[in-house]
Amino acid sequence: MPVELVARTAPPYNHFTQIGDPVLRQCAEEVAEDRIDSQEINDVVEQMVNVLRHYDCVGVAAPQLGLPLRMIVMEFREDKRERFPKEIYEQRKMSTLPLTVFINPKMEIISETKHTHLEGCMSVRGYSAQVARYDRVRITGIGKLGTPSELDLEGWSARIAQHEMDHLNGIVYIDRMDVSSFNCITWQQINAAGGRANIPFDK
């Protein structure tokens, strides 16, 4: 389901802000109660969903579109199952996560067990690293588009939630990564192309 987006040069953007943008380092503000059901916020939710699907990623936090607001969108579609080798899918405890939208979410850790896996971020394009995350978390908040007000997540879905929650507090995965595992995901192609390769930011 490719979603076409027009380029926007003012927030909310239709692209991902990149590391260095101060919006990614500030603590996002709660959406005021009287704005939660406003057209403005519903439009932002719709835009976040469109960006998530256009870029075919699994989570978007509002600061990534330039808005310092406590809003997250997550989705792990069933069709991703075919895109990962079965061992990786199982090892990472991946599972389908229907479209999930939270306004002013809070997170509770419900298992102290941690798993370490490769993680990347659309706001640090072109890189990935090993990051330890809790296995189970509970998110509570205002759910939109059919999302319940409380949701228990496990495995990869819990990882996505922890990653997006961090964005609301100005934290990026590079703050939590095993530094020695930080890698440019296209380093092999860069060598194969004699160094003439770019990191794509538009898709």
The nearest distance, CB 172 to Zn ion, in angstroms, is 7
Residues within window 56-75 making contact with Zn ion, judged by CB under 5 A: none
Please identify which of the residues 30, 75, 87, 164 carries the catalytic annotation: 164
Q: Is residue 52 near Zn ion by the rule CB under 5 A? A: no
Catalytic (active site) residue 164: yes
Nearest residue to 77 via CA among 167, 156, 4, 164: 156
Q: How far is CA 170 from CA 47, 69, 156, in A?
A: 21, 11, 21
Nearer to Zn ion by Cβ, of 14 and 35: the residue is 14
Strands (E), the chain: 59-61, 71-76, 97-119, 127-144, 150-154, 183-184
Q: Which residue is nearest to Zn ion (CB)?
A: 121
**Cβ-count burial 131-147 (b if 16+ within 10 Å, e if not):** bebbbbbebebbbbeeb
Residues binding Zn ion: what is the number (CB under 5 A)? 1
Contact 168, 131 (CB under 8 A): no
Q: Is residue 165 near Zn ion by the rule CB under 5 A? A: no
Q: Is residue 121 near Zn ion by the rule CB under 5 A? A: yes
The nearest distance, CB 123 to Zn ion, in angstroms, is 5
Instruction: Rounding to the nearest 10 degrees, give the CA dihedral for residues 70, 166, 134, 45.
Output: 40
Return the range that interacts with Zn ion (CB under 5 A); candidates 16-24, 114-122, 133-141, 190-198: 114-122
Nearer to Zn ion by Cβ, of 63 and 141: the residue is 63
Nearer to Zn ion by Cβ, of 101 and 121: the residue is 121
Nearer to Zn ion by Cβ, of 36 and 170: the residue is 170
Q: How many angstroms from the chain centroid is the CA of residue 10?
A: 20
Count each helix (H run) and each strand (E run) in the chain, helices first. 4, 6
Q: Which residues are catalytic?
A: 164
Residues near Zn ion, by CB under 5 A = 121
